[in-house]
Amino acid sequence: MKHFFFRNGLVVLLCLCSFSCYAASMKRAKASSSLKMAMESYLDAAKQKMLNIQSVMVIQHGKVRYEKWLNGGEAEKPHVLNSVSKTFTSAAVGLAIEEGLLSLDDRLVSFFSDELPVLPSENLKKVTIHNLLTMNCGHDSEPRRNGEDSWVKTFLSWPVEHEPGSYYCYNSMGTYILSAIVQKVTGQKVVDYLQTRLFDPLGIDAPHWDESPQGINCGGWGLYLKTEDLGKMGQLLLQKGKWKGKQVLPKWYVTEAIKAQVPCQPAGIRADRVAESGLTKENSDWVQGYGYQVWRCRHNAFRADGAGGQYIIVIPEKDAVVINTADLRDMQAELNLVWDYILPALK
């Protein structure tokens, strides 16, 4: 925003864009001709496959090399992230552990004694923060919300059929429980707890995060951010939690979070049905292993992902981050285009 005023007969130009606003943006660099051509082919292929990509951003060596918004996507409009939200909740857990408020071995039941079933099962008593982070709580099916009832109480009442740590089951409500635990030990909602510790250092302004009827951020979904905000988070993870020389997230935690801590499979597919579903290490990015609310990918990459095609894809071997927001169903097809077109152009 520019304003003019007169001083001693001279016209003086004032730029009212603050330094903090300028500093919040990632640096830009010119895309190579090969990357430009690759992105044109990528977008053409997405159109042919009727994949409704709404934004794409490619960051390499810490600079934005390519960015485009289409099909209703807007640079300054926050996008619903769906399960990409989980990775931000994981960041809050890591910070709370670093501050001595939690540990990976803490038992779930220790935080909610007033909402436990009358006779909690032995398996429920064994569930830890680590189990929640890795979606290995022992549930045979994903817990579901029950109207306006306490979501914590609903989760605690869900049957835990398997030994915690032995069985992967995609679990958005488990991430909600992590959000509830962070709120309990910090006295702040996750979005507020992260404001000074993560969002402010990265220059992410006023994020919105949906809440449960009990006033707890949903954790596993409900966060809204802009495409560039996702790029910053991806770059932060690529740099093992460091941002502009400052360790924003604990390095040890990021290192563990992006590892394949446990075997995994897509939501809605049981572990004993993966083979018959046709998913293999060669053709699927959903069976590469799961960390702390982070998926491993092919090509030694890792990602945060959300329903509808929301992605933060981090490719360490290329020192690169690829961001997508979208509105589509075939998320594997969307990833395949990244591997087929964008990855080879990252020199």
The CATH number of whichever domain residue 147 belongs to comes to: 3.40.710.10
- Total structural domains in the chain? 1
pLDDT for residue 148 = 73
- Distances in Å between the Cα of 34 and the Cα atoms of 184, 221, 338, 341 are 50, 36, 15, 10
pLDDT for residue 302 = 98
- Looking up tokens 């509808």 gives 308
* 7 located within any domain: no
* 15 located within any domain: no
From the list 171, 206, 32, 181, the residue with the least C-alpha distance to 103 is 181
pLDDT for residue 10 = 41
Cα–Cα distance, 131 to 262 (Å, whole number)? 10
Cα–Cα distance, 95 to 115 (Å, whole number)? 26
Cα–Cα distance, 168 to 317 (Å, whole number)? 28
* 114 located within any domain: yes
pLDDT for residue 18 = 34
pLDDT for residue 203 = 97
pLDDT for residue 213 = 94
* 78 located within any domain: yes
pTM: 0.93
* 94 located within any domain: yes
pLDDT for residue 147 = 72
* 157 located within any domain: yes
* 290 located within any domain: yes
Q: Which residues of the chain have pLDDT under 50?
A: 1-23
From the list 221, 227, 188, 229, the residue with the least C-alpha distance to 205 is 229
pLDDT for residue 24 = 63
Per the CB < 8 A criterion, the answer to whether 56 and 39 are in contact is yes
Q: Domain range spanning residue 331?
A: 33-345
* 262 located within any domain: yes
